[in-house]
Structure 1
């Protein structure tokens, strides 16, 4: 199984996620100490969608991130470029319309969705700015974007502890529960190299999103970023 590099070559990233698909959800829950359940709930609350509205869930993987929307009656389209993830997702939730797609070249018409969301996947995209523009393109005027992504803890002592966990404990735990522990070395490195809250907010604005704001979760380990399409 492969480990992608921080240059995020698309075929390497896709291959890496294909290799972890079978135990991806279990590994995430263990590594996040079940905080991932709370984070998914907060994403759904931030989107605040009504039954019948349509949401695009990018980097949806096996569909776990899509379930809170779909189970609430929102028309949910899970999209991912890892075929291995989509295969596992189709087995888990055959009722969801999984779509294979690249976030930088989305296979959807302009203004197709009431909202777009991506959780813990934006930092794995080879061209983040192109992806943010594509998300803007497929969102209806008045629609919303919610990005849930790892970020930078705001309290310095906590940031030091968290960085040590990322680079030492996370790969060690992954060796026990993951089908591809080396992939989690890349994931730890990608989290550490990711822009902070202000840096990502600036990129959303450049991509055309308005009323950009963010909310720190778990002391800034994760941040919810929000934007609207005028």
Structure 2
């Protein structure tokens, strides 16, 4: 898949991530100028995992995003639909319970997790609202969702510069560090076509989440959305 597709066929997206698994974390670090580490710290703060809690980390890739929750004493299930990502994660973190799963058909019972989180993966799922409803289903009443996703810069001049970077600078940089640079053209286009922050908040509400709110990181390049399952 060389270009972003609104259809987001699961097997094509999964195959794309299989191809970039080996260097995925390094590539993200380079392309974000190290900002991805800060964003993940903010996710960990928002999830606020506690000892004994069960956390679902969806679109967890190699499992790197799950480590802060483990360090907090929670039981974490990293879940991803890319077998390549999961295999790479198993090499690095053989003790993590890495699980294969589709965000629109999660392989978990109802009301299992105290919190569910997804970072930079929601826009790659074919049906956003269906995925949000699935996350609601597997979350305990009163539990929470935290979504970290690329979004849209709030300052117009910076937004122009950022979108130019996505489409012009990102592919050449990706060619230097990624095993599948064409995948990053898809990723850049998927970011540009992703809904604005208020629209995603409305979709969360439509899916059944309450107390929906968001805050912008890095001037809106990334947005952190939160919600609570009705008690």
Note whether the superposition's TM-score is higher than 0.5.
yes
Please say if residues 4 and 187 of structure 2, whose CA atoms lie closer than 8 Å, have aligned partners that are also in contact: no
TM-score calculated relative to the size of structure 2 = 0.98
Q: Deviations over 1:130-172 (max 9, x none)?
A: 0000000000001000000000100000100000000000111
Q: Which residue of 2 aligns with 1:121?
A: 121
Q: Deviations over 1:12-49 (max 9, x none)?
A: 00000000000000000000111111111100100112
- State the Cα RMSD in Å: 0.8
Please say if residues 3 and 12 of structure 1, whose CA atoms lie closer than 8 Å, have aligned partners that are also in contact: no
Partners of 2:141 and 2:72 lie apart in 1 by: 23
SS of equivalent to 2:30: helix
SS of equivalent to 1:147: strand
Please say if residues 147 and 225 of structure 2, whose CA atoms lie closer than 8 Å, have aligned partners that are also in contact: yes
Q: Which residue of 2 aligns with 1:208?
A: 208
Please say if residues 147 and 226 of structure 2, whose CA atoms lie closer than 8 Å, have aligned partners that are also in contact: yes
Superposed, 1:10-159 pairs within 5 Å as 10-159=10-159
Partners of 2:44 and 2:89 lie apart in 1 by: 19
Partners of 1:183 and 1:48 lie apart in 2 by: 32
Partners of 1:4 and 1:126 lie apart in 2 by: 15
Partners of 1:3 and 1:20 lie apart in 2 by: 13
Gaps of 5+ in 1: none
Figure out how many residues of one structure are paired with residues of the other and give that number: 229
TM-score calculated relative to the size of structure 1 = 0.98
